[in-house]
Chain A
């Protein structure tokens, strides 16, 4: 479907399909040059982080909750097949229909088939990153079905033809003046002011009619409960409750990793999620439903369980951690890289540190290979992660895999980096060669070393290093030489 070819990249039209997106350093440039965008991102991440830090500090048992959340997620993944089978059985018994999709293409086809059966020309949606992952909206549009987003941020993006840049606050890069312009133009409200209260009210009335009339809805899921076959969704605005309650037919698209063993486990997950995601003790609305309840809510309910590369992440313990993620977004709010580049540079619907490990793996490392390098490995993301995903550890492991792949590529044989590495390997393998190399380097670098003992500029390939960093000059004497002189007698 999305074979629209490479598009030009700009701050206004980022490419979020990892197969088409430019490498991270190139994609980050338009944002780094856009002062307004950076200001918006910095403001939003500062606000959420501040609230999150205050609420985590007041929670005396935060460490214990994090331990429990982490252990629960890890345990679930280690028994994923059993819990999914249990969820399927209980959900089916409660009147739901469970579908399995091996990849995004199959999930899209399943959803389209259900909508065709419902004779749906339009569908309302609760914010779901998973549907963006499989690029559901453009697919439905191509097949004549209009998908209406109902989350305020998603409406801003949909009406303004923008792309999400954060998993919790997808439109954080858009400011009120821009929202006013989008709403005034698309809702036909030329007199609208840029007061957030008024903008929100405009969205409320714009959507109310839609909620009351569109009989089919699509949602994601925060948790699938194996014990009961129930589904839980957390939200703030109430658009979720509208979509979960008013339509005749409901389709929930969920990654296979979203399952939790028991209803009771929500006592852990809900406590860590709201605090981490929005800095609230609890999000305003949490909805939980089980299959179909006669007389209450949609009378036809489908769940689409999506693999799309997830099962391949189970194999290695380091990578498996990625699937513990509960999409709170705390890692991006704290990330010094994300805070500068915003979300679009990551070329995926999953930005920030979690995106840097999730996206390349969902792409089986065939695309998005620059993302594992979009980090300073400072570890701030690991510190705030409510399910203790050691993101730096996964980043390093993925970097190793990217490198191994490149090295195995014959065309990269004469790449200066790999030639250099092979030479270094050969030099370091023998003491005599190492000694000789040290001498040669001292002589070679002598001309570039300034009086302060630092090298500020180098020619050629070395210049790529000194472009952004200084290099310490080699000392007049190596340790081995000193040892030889002092003790070797």
Chain B
């Protein structure tokens, strides 16, 4: 049935488009890309914008130097009062701080992930203009389900990985990712009388640890 329908649909498309002469057909390269491909802000202002946007979404943002990363992660976990946390299999060993019951993802069941109180991951990059955190679900960012079921997500973001505009993120992708999730604030809905309610299905709490380069 499907093979016949493929032919049928393709024939209909061909017939529909047969009226367009070849000269009329503009190539892909002719698509005008006069929009902003690059940001206009310097690195410091870009970071400030990223932080501002994240805070607008009620994400908690903590900045620290590279050397203080592990202690900052430990402090944030302690502050949250959460004890059972999930970690992707490729998360740096040092990030698995003491005092936590870590569930490292070597094929965790959905229930085990759901019952955990939070998850700690790395990230691919950040987009300041929209306050977006990009995950490509590498070994240190974890499977998609890890950052979905727990109620708290602690995400580590490197200052040098923050770009200002969305096109700059796409320019970073020499090879398109097989999987990606773009997070711009906690899950939300405005379906009831346009009242914005946060925390529908995804994690209700997001903490971003922003690694600043050592002050020169």
**A contacts, CB < 8 Å to B:** 40, 43-44, 47-48, 60-61, 64-65, 67-68, 71-72, 75, 78-81, 84-85, 94, 99-102, 106, 109-110, 151-153, 156, 169, 171-172, 174-176, 179, 196-197, 199-200, 203-204, 207-208, 211-212, 225, 227-228, 230, 236-239, 241-242, 244-246, 256, 261-264, 266-268, 270-271, 274, 278, 280-291, 293, 295-297, 305, 307, 311-315
Contact = CB atoms under 8 A, between A and B. Distances in A.
Interface in B178-211: 178-195, 197, 199-202
Interface residues of B, number: 71
Interface in B5-60: 5-6, 8-10, 12-17, 19-20, 25-28, 30-36, 53
A263 B176 contact: yes
Given A153-B191, A196-B193, 20 more contacts: A43-B193, A71-B30, A71-B31, A71-B32, A100-B8, A102-B5, A109-B1, A176-B195, A204-B199, A212-B114, A230-B178, A236-B200, A238-B187, A261-B28, A287-B144, A296-B144, A305-B9, A311-B9, A315-B16, A315-B19
Contacts of B173: 263-264
B136 to A, nearest CB: 9
A59 B87 CA distance: 38
B111 A212 contact: yes
Contact of A238 (B9, B132, B148, B192): B148
Contacts of B28: 75, 261-262
Given A61-B35, A312-B16, A237 B9 contact: no
A281 B32 contact: no
A257 to B, nearest CB: 10
B99 interface: no
Nearest to B31: A71
A181 B173 CA distance: 48
Contact of B148 (A106, A152, A207, A242): A242
Given A47-B194, A263-B176, A281 B200 contact: no
A288 B143 CA distance: 13
B79 interface: no
B193 A175 contact: yes
Given A106-B5, A282-B132, A288 B179 contact: yes
B56 to A, nearest CB: 10
A199 B193 CA distance: 12
